[in-house]
Amino acid sequence: MIYDRVCFIGLGLIAGSMALALREAGLAREIVGTARSARTREVALARGLCDRVTATAAEAVDGADLVVLAVPVGAMGAVAAEIGPHLAPGATVTDVGSVKRAVIDAVAPHIPEGVHFIPGHPLAGTEQSGPESGFAALFRNRFCLLIDEGAEAGALDRLTRFWQGIGARVETMEADHHDLVLAVTSHTPHLIAYTMVGVADDLGRVTDSEVIRYSAAGFRDFTRIAASDPVMWRDVFLANKDATLEILGRFTEELFALQRAIRTGDGAQLESYFTRTRAIRRGIVEAGQDTDAPDFGRGAKT
Ligand SMILES: NC(=O)C1=CN([C@@H]2O[C@H](COP(=O)(O)OP(=O)(O)OC[C@H]3O[C@@H](n4cnc5c(N)ncnc54)[C@H](O)[C@@H]3O)[C@@H](O)[C@H]2O)C=CC1
Ligand SMILES: O=C(O)C(=O)Cc1ccc(O)cc1
């Protein structure tokens, strides 16, 4: 047992997966949860995500020694303002938001003296959302990044052991660096997927069924990613504006260069570009850094 009482604010994919995994691993004596809608709270209880649910976040954090903020990043500040006065001295507050600097700016002012705030981000998820979508194996062999900006060593060690206990590989990172790395690896790719699916949808000739029926793996994955939660992703782009715009600027420059190569028939440029990108993927796989192993407990992704 690492924590006595763990509290989840927001009971969707990430909180649900954490709750199931920590129950399986026996890392907490009691799990308390809260969500705005009564239906979400009922499903969470019925699925055994929580021992107890409360109607308000203020009630939920009472006596908790770990509080996990698992709401869209745009809602973190309001949640922190609500729970701040009710946090137990010595408690740790963490979050799982996909963006870190904006969340720290929104949450930190509401964390009282004597409470540890250690922002986090598990690099694991799916396009699903809601209290039905969580599963215990989600974090197995996936990275969880913790932001170590002056965190107390004991509290950081405890949260690290908690994430390791539910299968994650924990690393620490600085918040602005996190936001730039994630803009490259996750946020901009999601935007590209949204755009590509939008383009296909705009082509009147391509009916929905044709798009799915004749799509090879690449586009199929785009449609999966573009089915992700609209509110969550709206908030990610608004919260990680600068880094996303920086990467999008570079992306469009490269895209224009490739567009020009196609128009002018410059096959050598296309081939040399694709040769370089192929080497990057092979380098990642050979270095054993491809954590997306198909056998991490859930079977192959659909
Ligand atoms: N879905 C994914 O693949 C991943 C998501 N994250 C991050 O985790 C956090 C939670 O995401 P999911 O669990 O996927 O979302 P979800 O949509 O499955 O669950 C979100 C929960 O927050 C509640 N909520 C929404 N708006 C709220 C508000 N304004 N005030 C209070 N509660 C509110 C919802 O009712 C729900 O219980 C987000 O910050 C997201 O950026 C991190 C890694 C992966
Ligand atoms: O479903 C996918 O492919 C994802 O990329 C999941 C995901 C979404 C958001 C995150 O911050 C981390 C992981």
ipTM: 0.98
Domain count, the chain: 2
Q: What is the pLDDT of residue 293?
A: 44
Q: What is the pLDDT of residue 116?
A: 98
Q: Answer with the one of 115, 146, 173 that is the final residue of a domain.
A: 173
Q: Which of 71, 129, 144 to mutate to test the pocket of ligand 1 (most atoms within 8 A of CB)?
A: 71
Question: Which residue minimizes the CA distance to atom 11 of ligand 2?
Answer: 98
Domain of residue 11 covers 3-173
Residues 28, 129, single domain; the answer is yes
Cβ(99) – ligand 2 distance below 6 Å: no
- The answer to whether position 300 is within a domain reads no
Cβ(226) – ligand 2 distance below 6 Å: no
pTM (2 d.p.): 0.93
- The answer to whether position 298 is within a domain reads no
Residues 214, 99, single domain; the answer is no
Task: Work out the average pLDDT over 208-232.
Answer: 84
Q: Answer with the one of 157, 173, 189 that is the final residue of a domain.
A: 173
Residues 167, 185, single domain; the answer is no
- The answer to whether position 88 is within a domain reads yes
CA–CA dist 264, 175 (Å, integer) = 42
pLDDT at 287 over 80: no
Tell how far the Cα of 67 is from the centroid of ligand 1, in angstroms: 15
Cβ(95) – ligand 2 distance below 6 Å: no
DSSP letter assigned to residue 88: P
Tokens of residue 243, six digits: 């880094």
- The answer to whether position 279 is within a domain reads yes
Cβ(243) – ligand 2 distance below 6 Å: no
Residues 129, 184, single domain; the answer is no
- Beta-bridge partner residues of 116: 92
**Consecutive H or E run containing 92:** strand 92-95
Please choose, from the candidates 126, 153, 147, 163, the residue with its C-alpha nearest in 3D space to the C-alpha of residue 298.
126
Residues 26, 166, single domain; the answer is yes
Please choose, from the candidates 74, 76, 68, 82, the residue with its C-alpha nearest in 3D space to the C-alpha of residue 14.
68
Q: What is the pLDDT of residue 208?
A: 62
**Cα–Cα–Cα angle for 229, 277, 233, nearest 5°?**
10
Residues 167, 196, single domain; the answer is no
Task: Work out the average pLDDT over 69-93.
Answer: 98
- The answer to whether position 103 is within a domain reads yes
Q: Answer with the one of 124, 149, 173 that is the final residue of a domain.
A: 173
CATH of the domain at 11: 3.40.50.720
